[in-house]
Amino acid sequence: MAHKRDRDGSLTADRTKKNDENTLAVLESNTAESGNDSHSAKRHRTCSENSLNGTEPEEKLNIAPADTWKPVFAVGTRLQVQWEIVDDAEGGTGEVSARWWGCEFFGLKGQDPAGRDIHVIRYDAHGEFEETDSEIVFLSDSDLWDVAYESRLHWRREPPEWNPNQEEKLTMIDVIANQEKEETRNGVPAGLLHSLALNAFSKMPHEKQMAMAARYRDFSNAFKEGLAELKASRCIASKLQVLMI
């Protein structure tokens, strides 16, 4: 069974049930359909205790209500919270892996006794972990406080999925136009570099002109082949892909 661990290194619950606020650890025995007993310990951290040995939490929530961070996004916004997943199943490797856990912001629930805003997020189901709600306090635009686990955790807005249809489409005419715009932005008259290059080329010995023309032809052919492959696979070439050829 995999367990979730927060930043202070303490073992946390697997979030399949709400914490029992009066119990440090709850052991649940699961009975297989065949009738054989298979025991799996699910440890639930509580607000009164922070670790399995009964010590006080390493960090307490002592931020003033006025210093808490106020979310500027709407209910339904997708967020991610960083947890550590511990593979401590029987025969497991004990490997610890960090995971940005996706969740949905459900908005303000109320205030704690100190007057701090309590918000609710709903974590996505993942593997053996079920979908569940958690109460949090936003400490900053990158940290939050999990009320049930008494832990400071990193959070962030969920990055948007990349959509190739939103990428800028570019033609060769656009490439030339963009080049001229860049020249103009840098104080170079549009077309001046092209004119200077042609003038310098015409003054070269015939042998060098032939050599440069051959190199340009090789480059042009390679560029056309690369562009044809991109268009065959994606139909439309993006600006970044053109620049990478």
Q: Could you read off the pLDDT of 37-66 as tens digits, one per residue?
A: 333 323 233 333 333 334 445 678 999 999
Residue 238: inside a domain: yes
The arithmetic mean of pLDDT across residues 158-162, rounded, is: 79
- Do 61 and 153 lie in one domain? The reply is yes
Cβ neighbours, 10 Å, residue 41 = 12
Structure tokens at 109: 């629930």
Structure tokens at 149: 């686990």
- Do 7 and 121 lie in one domain? The reply is yes
Of residues 174 and 1, which shows the higher confidence score? 174
Residue 114: inside a domain: yes
- Do 74 and 169 lie in one domain? The reply is no
Residue 33: inside a domain: no
Residue 147 has pLDDT above 80, yes or no: yes
Structure tokens at 136: 């949090």
- Do 7 and 120 lie in one domain? The reply is yes
Determine whether 118 is exposed, middle or buried from the number of CB atoms within 10 Å of its CB (0-12, 13-18, 19+): middle
What pLDDT sits at residue 204? 80
- Do 220 and 128 lie in one domain? The reply is no
Residue 43: inside a domain: no
Residue 150: inside a domain: yes
- Do 126 and 228 lie in one domain? The reply is no
What pLDDT sits at residue 145? 96
Residue 147: inside a domain: yes
- Do 170 and 191 lie in one domain? The reply is yes
Of 113, 139, 157, the one marking the end of a domain is 157
- Do 77 and 139 lie in one domain? The reply is yes
Of 138, 157, 176, the one marking the end of a domain is 157
Structure tokens at 199: 């003038």
- Do 137 and 229 lie in one domain? The reply is no
Of 135, 157, 179, the one marking the end of a domain is 157
Query: What is the pTM (predicted TM-score) of this model?
Result: 0.48
Of residues 73 and 218, which shows the higher confidence score? 73
- Do 119 and 233 lie in one domain? The reply is no
Residue 51: inside a domain: no
Residue 41: inside a domain: no
Residue type, 57: P
Residue 179 belongs to domain spanning: 164-244
In terms of phi and psi (left: phi > 0; alpha: psi -120 to 50; beta: otherwise), the region of 192 is: alpha
Number of domains within the chain: 2
- C-alpha of 65 from chain center: 29
- Do 76 and 120 lie in one domain? The reply is yes
- C-alpha of 140 from chain center: 18
CB-based burial, 49-74: b 16+ in 10 Å, e otherwise: bbbeeeeebeeebebeeeebeebeee
- Do 187 and 207 lie in one domain? The reply is yes
